[in-house]
Structure 1
Amino acid sequence: MEKNVNLKFLTHTALIAAAYAALTYAFAFMSYGQVQFRVSEILVLFAFIEPKYGLGLVLGCILANFTSPLGVIDVVVGSFATLIAILYIAAIRKTFGYNKKSMYLASLGPVLSNAIFVGLELTYLFQTPFLLNALYVAIGEFVVVTLVGTQVVNAVMKNSALSERLTIN
């Protein structure tokens, strides 16, 4: 049984990483830079459904950022911001449970994490004001993760068959 769980974990991790990277590449025109709407960030909320997806999400972010016009710094900073966001999401789920209200609260983790870390990265790279960079990144994250992503994840949560299939035991 343990072998099946490990295979399922590896398969889900690879699929999540590939989906994150593919969505970032598909929407590259709006996935990088000072103003970004990274559609792949919707997937970060899948860590609310199954916290074990965190590894796949970080790997997907690393893969996606290899082609970033911002360079290797985006691989490090962006992936770190994703890791912090996932830890926040998992902590919210553990503390407040698996429900719609805590999912909305969890959606703010990626907004804050990316605003801070990517905002600092953009300030360093472009010598532009941190608060402006953080605001731009936060707006993009809020639209994608909080406004759109929560609707997607809420629909998954309502579908017990799909939600169960996404769980790794």
Structure 2
Amino acid sequence: MNDAASRCPSPGLVSIKTLRSLVCPRLYQETVLHVAQQSETDSADAEHRIIECLRYLYLVSAHPASLRGQFLPVEQEIDDVWHYLILQTREYKTLCEERLPGRFFIHHRSLPYGEHRQEATREQRIEAALRWLPLYRDTFGAMDEHALPYWTMAKFLRGQMGLSLQQIADLDR
């Protein structure tokens, strides 16, 4: 990944280098190969997906009180990466319990969107989806074009509402 965020992150932000170091190099490369083959994409796109999955897991781990149990805010491509990591049981356990900030195992529970809709009001669903954006910005910096396609609410705000990446980053300011 050769973008500005990986070269010189702002002080206090979690860098791409730090995220990559959360998993052993062998597993990282295996995951890149798996994602590239399964999605018929190149390794650069596969790496973007892996980084966004690690960002998702990092946020869940760092903010369990506000994020645990929330409907998955990322697109299927990121969920697919998560599934692959979970299947590497030993390494996934180490990632969750020793490498991520919360130091607890992050369970995956499938919840169909229809069931999620029945459990929460429309306003609650919107608030929950928006909750991720300032946490993302404050932890990793403003979302970029590589991350945008994988975060459902950001993708909606950009594509349907016409917000710029800066406007998305500034939503709660």
TM-score norm. by structure 1 comes to: 0.28
TM-score norm. by structure 2 comes to: 0.28
Higher helix share: 1
